[in-house]
Structure 1
C-alpha cells in the first residue's frame, strides 16, 4: 500500500496560519521549503572546509555531518519555515570610512543581539503553531548547525549572491534569518534564482580581497571573521586594510545594487543605537572590562570580550593617523592582556614619530610574553 497523502486543506490552513503569525511578529518575509531541499549543500561545505577557508572556526568541521542537512540534525523534520527580518541601515555604512577617528561597527550589531530578538519571536510563533497543528517544532537562529542561507534560497527568500550572503529582490543584502523546523507537511514555496548577472560590485568592494572567486569566501581574509571570530593576533599585512572597522564589515553588503529595494514595512525593525553608529575611538580605548560590558550590554559585540574588542580598536587607532590617540594607546601598552599590549605596540608604531617610538621601545626590556615580543620584533625594536 502507498503511504497516506497529506491532507491538502489542512496543509493550506497551517501554511496560512504560520505566515500570518510571521507577519504579526514583524517578519518581512516567510517562505517554506522541504527538509531535504539542499542536497548540494554538503559538497559545497566540504570544499570550503578542504580549502581551509573556515580559518580557526573548528566548530564548522565538528558539526559538518549535522550542518549539511536538516534531516541529519532532526530526522523527523518534514518542512522548514524560513523567516527574514530586514535590518537595512538608513545610510551607507561605508561613509564612516571617511572618519578614521571613529569606529565602524557592523550595522547588524548596532542594537540588541538579533539572535535573542529573533529567537524570542520564533518561540512565540512555534508555541502557537504547535498548539494549532499538533506537530513538533524546533526553532534555530544561527547558533545551531543549520545552513540558513541555502535553506532560505530553497524557500524563495532570496539567493546567495557572489559575496555568499543572502540577497533579496525586496530587501537587498540586509536580512536577518531564522528557521522553524516542523514535522508538519506544509505548502512549499518555489526557490529563488540567481539575479546577480555580471555584476561584481560586492567582490570589488572587499578591502582585503577575501573572495578568491565569485560565490566563494576565504574567511581568513574577511574582516568580519578577523574582528569577531579570530582570537589571536591579526596578520600584519591585513591590518592597514581593515581601517577603522572594529567589529565586522559591511562593505560587500553595502555595495550591492539590490539594496535600493531594502525597505521594511515593519514597525518592529531594529533601529541602531545612536551611540553605536560612530563611536569615538578615544572613548572606546578607555573601556575596562566592566565598562565594556556595561556599554555593550545586550549587543552582540559583548560576546567577543573586552580584550579582543580593544585589540580591534587599537588596530583602528593605528590606522587613524590621529596623534590624539597616542596617549590612550600608551596607557594600553601596559595592559594585563598580552593581546592588548601587542596591538598597542603596533598602533603606537604607526602613530608615533620615529624618535618618540624609539624612546617608548625601551619598555620592551620588561616583556616576556612571546606574542608581545613578536610585535616588538615586527616594530623593529628587538
Structure 2
C-alpha cells in the first residue's frame, strides 16, 4: 500500500483484532493509511454463538461495504421482534423500522462467520496482520508513538488505537484514570442450535426469574441467550455442568425457548459468562494513543449493540482523522461524537438488566428496550 496522510497521520497501529479493531483498520486503510493490526491470539480465532445485528449496526457495516455479505451469510428481516411471557404467551411485537431505504431493519449472524467476513476484508486491503502479539510499552514522542511489542521488537506510529477488549493492555499502559469494567450482577448463558420449526422472527421472553431471547442467525441456525443472577464461584463449569444447568434453567419456558430446551444436546455450543460494563471516564485519548470498543465502552447484551458501537467508533475515528489536520483535534472530535451515544447504550443496558434482576414489569422492560433502540436510529 502506498503510504499517504489523512489529516496528519500516515501510519497506525491497531491493538486487537476483534470487531472494533478490524472496523478501525478497514476504515483507515480504505482512506490510504498504512495500518498494522496485531492480536494476542496466534490463531486469530473468535468464540461465541450468534450475534444480533440491529438496524444501526447494519448501517455501520454498510459504511464499511460489508452489508451485502452479512445479508448473504446471515439472516436479515424486515423489522419485528416478538415479546412473549416465559410460558410462550405472546404479549406484543416490537416494531423495528428500516432506518435507511434498502437497509434491512434487523438480523443475526453467527459470530465466527462475521469475524471471517471482516478478516477477508482486512486481507483484501493488504493490511499487515501480526498474531500472538500485544504491546508492553507506549510512549508518545513528538508526532508519533514509540511502541514496544511483547516479542521484544519495536515500532513507531503516528497513532496507536487500543481495541483490545475489556482486558485492554493499552488501557492499563496509557490511561491510569480508568478502571476495570464492573460486574452488573447478571450472567449470560448462550447456546447455538438449529432453528425451531416455528421460529419466524427474533423473540424475547419475560416474566420469569430469568429472561431469555432467540435470534435467527442463518437459514437453519439460531442462538438463545438466557440471563440469570450471577453467583461468583472459584471454578469454571465444565461442559456437562453447562448443559445440565442450562437445560434446568429453561425448564419453565414455552414457545420456541421450550423447543430449544427439549431438543438441545451436548453437541451444541454452550457458554456462560458474567456480565460487566463500563463507560470509561474522559479523556479517551492520551497523546497519540486512543481507545475504542470494549476497551472504553464495554456494554451488556441487552440492546444487542456492543458490536455496533465498536464498528461505529472505528468509522467515526477514521472520519475525524480524515476531516482534521490536527491529530489532537481529530481525537477530541471523535470523543465528542461517541461519548454520549455510548453512555446511553451502557446506562440503558445496565438499567434494563437491573430491572430484570428486580423482577420488573415485562411491559416496562420491553418499552425501555424499544425506546433505547429508537434513539440508536439517530445518525452517529
RCO (CA 8 Å, sep 6+): is it higher in 1 or 2? 2
Q: Which has the larger radius of gyration?
A: 1
The TM-score range, normalised by the shorter chain, is: under 0.3
- Higher helix proportion (structure 1 or 2): 1
The alignment's TM-score, normalised by the length of structure 2, stands at 0.25
The alignment's TM-score, normalised by the length of structure 1, stands at 0.24
